[in-house]
Amino acid sequence: MFKSKKLFAGISMIFILFLFVVWLYNNIVTDTQSSSQNLLGKHVQTFLTPQEAIAQKGVNVSISDVAEKSVKSVVNISSKKVIKSPYGGQNSPYFNDPFFKRFFGPNFRFDEPSEQRQQSLGSGVIVSKDGIILTNNHVIQDAEEIKVVLHDEREFEAEILGTDPESDLAVVKLKGDVKDLQPLTFGNSDVLRLGEYVLAIGNPFGLSHTVTMGIVSAKGRNHVGLVDYEDFIQTDAAINPGNSGGALINLQGELVGINTAIASQSGGYQGVGFAIPSNMAKTVMDNLIDHGKIVRGWLGVGIQEITQDIADAMNLSSRKGILVSDVFEDGPAEKAGLKSGDIITRVENEEIDSVDQLRNKIAFIGPDTKVTVTILRDGKEKDISVKLAERTDEVRQAALTRQKSENSDSLDGLTVSQLNDTIKNQFKIPEEIDYGVVILQVESGSKASQAGLMPGDVIREINNKTIDSIDLFRNEYKNSKKAVLLYVYRNGGHFFKGLSK
């Protein structure tokens, strides 16, 4: 009897221990799973699906709702223009050869230009109920006839209200009785974030009202080489020929960009597309509608990036800011006291990181506006108040002419400047060095760089000929057939340097 009780007690203890192990295991697993889910949840929140992104912003619509509504605001634009052929309609100048004239007769004029009609296709975005459409300048450039097809297949002729080749934007307006138009609302392109979902709508390859989706790959893209004023949004939403002038929209259905170009080796989509930000597009559009042209601000300076070579030569601790290489006579900057060698670090308290950023900011602030320009001079910061002027065509042409005459690209790898007092102070060149051209920048990997030339060097002679101007420097270099012998001043001494062409 005693043994039976002991056996029963042992079995009971084992059973209780088993239940305790099961309870403990369940609690550990549950807690682990809960912790894992919480941890996973924190990471999942940074990788939202497009639908979740819409829901997070409190918008009770789907991507399909956004696309189907927005597509009605994008139009198909076809433009026709007349191209004059210098070969009388023939494809080759060989038709001017007397041998061919024997077959076509003496009265056939091969030297008279003939006219050929060329048609281009693109896209546009309706931005007002009275029929104003925003598109790219290259879509309607030199057009004699513009036809617009809406989403519901209605066709209209359109007139040009204004164009701006420097930003590749144009504004056209539908003719006739327009009604039931659905314009897009402008969004704030400045608040776009990297990785944010966007839709591209246009007419690629003539396939009307095509919608593609991607993300914002980059912002502030410049140096693309398409236009003078570049501040592109880069996206991987599929953009192809025919998408130009179409809409880039966010998930709220707001217009955040005008699709403009692609980077491609094949001519088709390869994952890199560019759109003009809506904030820039709206500013240009408003100017074109109000003035028929773009009224841009002008500071009156020549500017350049600060390379590491320039930073070393000027004993700068960093490359932040933009170097003033020239100050135009009687311009706003000269009147305010800016000098060559100043480094512009901020405009209206916004940090300046690139030449394009500075040019765009000044341009879109506009003329007759006082701005605070923060500069670095002799190692000290200084705020200067400048009243901007208008960047007229005359001002632009004068600036281009002056820049061409004072900066030379004839010697590959070198950027040079005329020798003057400001440059002398900048590079600590003594007074007795009274002629020559000063090297401002040496391109990395160039022949000039390989030869050991440096910013601050003064080129005084080329092939034993004295150099006292940029034009003479350029001409002497171009006239040298095989090699160039330079006579250079640096740090109190002179030396010769041979440079192969």
* Domains present along the chain, CATH in parentheses: 75-174 (2.40.10.10), 189-291 (2.40.10.10), 297-396 (2.30.42.10), 407-500 (2.30.42.10)
CB contact at 8 A, 303 and 344: yes
Work out the mean pLDDT of the chain and round it to a whole number: 81
CB contact at 8 A, 362 and 339: no
Q: Which of 78, 123, 138, 356 is catalytic?
A: 138
Q: Which of 168, 236, 326, 457 is catalytic?
A: 168
CB contact at 8 A, 183 and 73: yes
For 128-171, how does the pLDDT look when each residue is reduced to its tens digit (9 = 90+)?
Answer: 999 999 999 999 988 889 999 999 999 999 999 999 999 999 99
Q: Does the annotation mark 168 as catalytic?
A: yes
Please list, residue by residue across 88-101, b when 16 or more beta carbons sit within 10 angstroms of its beta carbon and e when fewer do: beeeeeebeeeeee
- Split at pLDDT 50, 70, 90, the class of 411 is low
Say how far apart CA 219 and CA 256 lie, in whole Å.
Answer: 12
- Split at pLDDT 50, 70, 90, the class of 73 is very high
For 352-397, how does the pLDDT look when each residue is reduced to its tens digit (9 = 90+)?
Answer: 988 889 999 999 898 999 999 999 998 899 999 999 999 877 666 5
Average pLDDT over residues 165-190: 94
Q: Which helix (H) or strand (E) holds 104?
A: helix 98-104
**What is the structure's pLDDT at 479?**
79
**What is the structure's pLDDT at 56?**
61
- Split at pLDDT 50, 70, 90, the class of 458 is very high
Which runs of E-coded beta strand occur in 263-402? 273-277, 297-298, 301-305, 322-327, 343-347, 350-351, 370-377, 380-387, 389-390
Say how far apart CA 443 and CA 439 lie, in whole Å.
Answer: 11
Most trustworthy range by pLDDT among 48-57, 256-265, 473-482? 256-265
Say how far apart CA 342 and CA 329 lie, in whole Å.
Answer: 16
**What is the structure's pLDDT at 306?**
87
For residue 300, the tally of other CB atoms under 10 A from its CB is: 23
User: Residue 488 pLDDT > 50, yes or no?
Assistant: yes
Burial class (CB in 10 A: 0-12, 13-18, 19+), 60: exposed
Amino acid letter, residue 80: K
**What is the structure's pLDDT at 409?**
41
Q: Which helix (H) or strand (E) holds 157?
A: strand 155-164
* CA proximity to 261, closest of 190, 186, 187, 200: 200
Q: Choose between 20 and 440: higher pLDDT.
A: 440
Q: Does the annotation mark 209 as catalytic?
A: no
Q: Choose between 13 and 57: higher pLDDT.
A: 13
**What is the structure's pLDDT at 99?**
42
Lowest mean pLDDT among 108-112, 154-158, 476-480: 108-112
**What is the structure's pLDDT at 211?**
97
Say how far apart CA 48 and CA 478 lie, in whole Å.
Answer: 59
Q: Which two tokens stand for residue 383?
A: 């705020």
Average pLDDT over residues 76-102: 56
55-61 LR contacts (CB < 8 Å, sep 24+) = 57/251, 57/252, 59/251, 59/252
CB contact at 8 A, 186 and 132: no
**What is the structure's pLDDT at 248?**
98
Tell me the backbone φ, ψ of residue 108, rounded to 5 degrees.
-80, 120
User: Residue 37 pLDDT > 70, yes or no?
Assistant: no
Q: Which of 78, 244, 278, 340 is catalytic?
A: 244
Q: Which two tokens stand for residue 388?
A: 């901007």
Say how far apart CA 313 and CA 306 lie, in whole Å.
Answer: 11
Rg (CA), the chain: 33
**Beta bridge mates, 160:** 172
Q: Choose between 482 and 479: higher pLDDT.
A: 479
